[in-house]
Amino acid sequence: MAAGSVRVRGLWYAYPDGRQALRGVDLEVAPGERVAVLGPNGAGKTTLMLHLNGILTPQAGEVTVGGLVVDPSDRAGLAEVRRRVGVVFQDPDDQLFLPTVGEDVAFGPANLGLRAERLRERVEGALAAVGMSDRLDRVPHHLSYGEKRRVAVAGVLAMDPQVLVLDEPSSNLDPAARRELAEILSSLPVTLLMVTHDLPYAWQLCSRAVIMDEGRIVADGPTGALLADADLLARHRLELPYGFSVDGPAQPAAAAS
């Protein structure tokens, strides 16, 4: 399988309390593809994403990234998977814990063994990619929420991932920060999977979408086609904002080449 590809086959997972979160999920994502993962609360979206870099372990089925099986029992293989697949959590404070922005962004690549000039270049490149170069020495928790999210993205980009996974990236952002983040994400040359309830954001950033419900993928197709299907959205408790139409001039962002 090519670098940046993702394949999920027959994935099942239940939490310790017995709640069945995934029920035989199958999904293939091509290198450079941008896929929105939509669905109501409790559909299994985040659970699926947490399997892509081994945070959760399948109870049945298999996940591969670029042909490498995600196996949490294989420590060396898991380290490589986590380099390939970067996850940006919904709350940036879950990822920012060091005294300065630069130290936070350097944490991952330093653990990969990068030092001195190579580490500095990786950090500076990641911050430049998200427009935060001038925040290198700032205290992360003194930043705005939108700035924190961009630093969290930079921390993942510093690992040089092939796949970027984002959980509700537009949540709690003001309109300007939302637009700025969309511009950043549309410019990144990676495979992108985005869990979101923000259907216009999915339309803007992802040419393909899947809808999950009750632990299964129930629809898969062009984002505009799924969002134009009012009956499909209603069946799975998804709603477009009042007045929004996929027939307008906006088009999904193409993957960066």
Q: For the segment 133-160, what is each residue's pLDDT rounded down to a tens digit?
A: 999 999 998 999 999 999 999 999 999 9
Contact indicator for 37, 193 with CB cutoff of 8 Å: yes
pLDDT of residue 73: 87
Residue 96, helix vs strand vs coil:
coil
- Alpha-carbon gap, residue 213 to 115, rounded angstroms: 45
Virtual torsion, Cα 145, 150, 151, 153, nearest 10 deg: 130
Q: What is the pLDDT along the chain (257 residues), one digit of tens a residue?
A: 688 899 999 999 999 999 999 999 999 999 999 999 999 999 999 999 999 999 999 999 999 999 999 998 898 899 899 999 999 999 998 889 899 999 999 998 898 888 889 999 999 999 999 999 999 999 998 999 999 999 999 999 999 999 999 999 999 999 999 999 999 999 999 999 999 999 999 999 999 999 999 999 999 999 999 999 999 999 999 999 988 888 654 444 444 43
pLDDT of residue 1: 65
Strands 208-213 and 60-65: unpaired
User: Which domains does the chain carry?
Assistant: 6-94+162-235 (3.40.50.300)
Q: What does the pLDDT look like over 92-104, one tens digit per residue? A: 988 898 999 999 9
Give the predicted TM-score (pTM) of the model: 0.90
- Alpha-carbon gap, residue 31 to 24, rounded angstroms: 23
CB burial of residue 243 (10 Å; 0-12, 13-18, 19+): exposed
pLDDT of residue 246: 81
Give the pair of three-digit tokens for residue 112.
């990969």
